[in-house]
Amino acid sequence: MADNRKIAEDVLKAVGGSENVAHATHCMTRLRLNLKDDSIPNDEQVKKIPGVLGVARSGGQYQVIIGQNVPKVYKEVLTMGVSAAATGSNGEGGEKPKEKLTLKGVGMNILNYLAGSLTPLIPILIGAAMFKTILSIFGPDMLGLFSAESDLFKLFDFVYDAGFYFLPIYVGYTAATKIGASPILGMFMGGILLAPDFLAMAAAEEVTKFTVFGIPAYLTDYSQSVIPIILSVWAMSYVEKFLKKHIPDALSTIFVPFLTILIMLPISLCLLAPLGAYVGLYVSTALISFGNVGGFIAVAVIAAIWEFLVMSGMHVVMVVTVLNIYMTTGYETVIWPAALCATAATFGIALGAFLRIRDKEEKSLSLGYFISGIIGGVTEPALYGIGLKYKKPLIALMIGGAVGGLYVGLTHSYMYGLGATNFLMILSFSGGSTANFINGTIGCIISMLAAAAATFMIGFDKNDPVVTGIAASDDDASDSSAEAADVAEVSACISGQVIPASEIKDEVFSTGMMGAGVGIVPDEEVIVAPCSAVVSSVMEESKHAVGLTLANGAEILIHEGLDTVGLNGQGFELYVKEGDKVRKGQKLIRFDKKLLAEKGLDSTTVFLLTNSDDYPDAKFETGMKAEAGNTVVLKF
């Protein structure tokens, strides 16, 4: 077993000691040192250190190739007076690749940031939503088993509120984690938006009576909102990074958090947080004007985009407009009928996902999203857990809303009441003629079924294990005796063209320095376990690599793409953690292949047997198209 502390000591001594290291970081296989004087180390001497496999110089970094025990060596290095690099400073192969700015790339970055900020909240959202669902079913609205004045009703009601009211604080943490800012400061920013005195002024509509350093602040209630805090944390990350760079270490503990928040107060409260309200005012005016002249087309368009307006907070102004129209005329003809169709479409994407997905865990979650929506009237779990997570269901959401909205518009179905947001929302169409109620109900059903059908057909990649069910089969589960047996064959971890390791465009992998293996030019975006194994290591921040230990002791490294560690997790989802037991076909990593291409990164999946010296008879198969979980690429 490698003496990781001894390796760390020998490496530091060879590079000029800790005083010559500005900072250090690591990827899956390399200890990355930014040296103050990179002329000191003798590469040949460093290569001779026991436990060191090689050396590379790239992008201003001195890279010591160690292998899968590099995280342990890195921890030892940090105990010897070396500072860790700031998040985002590491890069596979050194310098972070320059982004080619395109409209598509910007849109994908935004979606990735939103998904990374919101999908971790699913346990809170679905948990809180189920309390609301119980209230809807057993409370006074349906079965009436307990009254609104009962302690149980009050308990479940404030538990639900706790899940959604404090969303800015929860999102402050997840958004900061996603973007590499301080999660605690992200929570602090969320807390500022929910400060009781601030909300009290907003409730009193004292808009002209409050300024931030002389700048007028737009006061509104940001509870249950997500976009204001997401924008604020994004800006905060740059402020914090700037201050960390320019404030001396001795003062940074006090002044970085203080000055970060001080600078962010006017940026957040006067500009970014109310941005949805500012933009929403103009969007609302435009859509209402469009509704006056666009007829049924306007209803369809608004129904298609309504949930996006809700997620951005721009719908608030439109809801106020609806209320004014309703109080004046007793009905509303465009916005609210469209909103109800959009809500039904949200139920639909959850239903479609439930019908399409075969992965047991994801299928169960989808059913929970559907129930929390159609019974509890809470659509956020479906929007964030399906729409933003898988992205393509957002297209299905728009299709469902548009189709149902088109029917409602063509039949001139009006809204005569403001009611529930669950299946009882169809009662909003009652109050006029019977035909109005029937057509409004049909429109909502059309929206739900159309969204469900679209999600089923186009919502997922056909080879995604979540829909193929490779990981869901009980037949793949091995009993204890099978797990103890030697592994004879190992399958491909992803579908694509298998190439020899010598063709991988990275000398660390192509020369066999890290062990024998192959590359797979991927046809899809999901990496699965090639056989039953234990997860021995993961890159938690960059999410681009996983180490597996097989039952026979073989150690497999799966490394997605070249130079991808510099993305710091952008475009990646990691489904496992160190110590997990995985089965053949179980999801390990999902990555955004298009994003890698846009950033000029090679997406070749590296598949290595890192302790190949212990298995001289092991043979890799190359030169064929492989199917994940089925095509054998390694035989022992």
Give the separation between CA 375 and CA 242, rounded to whole angstroms: 47
- Contact call for residues 451 and 402 (beta carbons, < 8 A): no
Give the separation between CA 403 and CA 292, rounded to whole angstroms: 20
One-letter identity of residue 270: C
- pLDDT, one tens digit per residue, over 579-613 is 888 888 888 999 998 889 888 899 999 999 988 88
Give the separation between CA 529 and CA 362, rounded to whole angstroms: 18
- pLDDT, one tens digit per residue, over 379-393 is 888 988 898 888 899
Nearest C-alpha neighbor of 373 from the set 415, 342, 341, 344: 344
Give the pLDDT confidence score for residue 585 in this predicted structure. 86
Look up 559 and say whether it is catalytic.
Answer: yes
State both tokens at 209: 């009576």
Look up 270 and say whether it is catalytic.
Answer: no
Give the pLDDT confidence score for residue 479 in this predicted structure. 43
Q: Angle at Cα 6 formed by Cα 5 and Cα 8, nearest 5°? A: 65
State both tokens at 470: 């490779």
Half-sphere exposure at residue 224, Cβ-oriented, CA atoms within 13 angstroms: 13
Domain range list for the chain: 4-78, 166-273, 283-460, 474-635
- pLDDT, one tens digit per residue, over 20-63 is 888 888 877 788 888 888 888 998 888 889 888 888 877 677 88
Give the separation between CA 34 and CA 15, rounded to whole angstroms: 10
Is residue 337 scored above 80 in pLDDT?
A: yes
- Contact call for residues 384 and 311 (beta carbons, < 8 A): no
Give the pLDDT confidence score for residue 26 in this predicted structure. 80
Give the separation between CA 85 and CA 87, rounded to whole angstroms: 6
Say if 4-78 and 474-635 have the same CATH topology: no
469 band by pLDDT with thresholds 50, 70 and 90: low
Give the pLDDT confidence score for residue 472 in this predicted structure. 42
223 or 522, greater pLDDT: 522
Q: Which of 26, 315, 544, 559 is catalytic?
A: 559
Strand partners, 24: 33, 84
Is residue 91 scored above 50 in pLDDT?
A: no
Q: Identify the three-state secondary structure at position 7.
A: helix
Secondary structure in 3-state letters for 193-209: HCCHHHHHHHHCCCHHH
Q: What is the pLDDT averaged over residues 259-284?
A: 85
The C-alpha R_g of the chain, in whole angstroms, comes to: 28
State both tokens at 476: 């793949």
Is residue 239 scored above 50 in pLDDT?
A: yes
Distant-in-sequence, close-in-space partners of 29: CB < 8 Å, separation ≥ 6 = 65, 66, 67, 68, 70, 508, 514, 557, 559
4-78 folds as Gyrase A; domain 2 (3.30.1360)
Q: Which of 27, 341, 444, 493 is catalytic?
A: 27
Give the DSSP letter string of 288-321.
HHHHHHHTHHHHHHHHHHHHHHHHHTTHHHHHHH
Give the pLDDT confidence score for residue 385 in this predicted structure. 87
- Contact call for residues 590 and 478 (beta carbons, < 8 A): no
328 or 140, greater pLDDT: 140
Region at 389 (left for phi over 0; alpha for psi -120 to 50; beta for the rest)? alpha
One-letter identity of residue 123: P
178 or 307, greater pLDDT: 307
pTM: 0.62
Give the separation between CA 618 and CA 636, rounded to whole angstroms: 4
Region at 522 (left for phi over 0; alpha for psi -120 to 50; beta for the rest)? beta
1 or 508, greater pLDDT: 508
> For the domain 474-635, what is the CATH code?
2.70.70.10
Residue 513: burial class (beta carbons within 10 Å; 0-12, 13-18, 19+): middle
Give the pLDDT confidence score for residue 226 in this predicted structure. 83
171 or 202, greater pLDDT: 171
Is residue 98 scored above 70 in pLDDT?
A: no
Give the separation between CA 627 and CA 558, rounded to whole angstroms: 16
How far does Cα 618 stand from its chain's mean position? 38
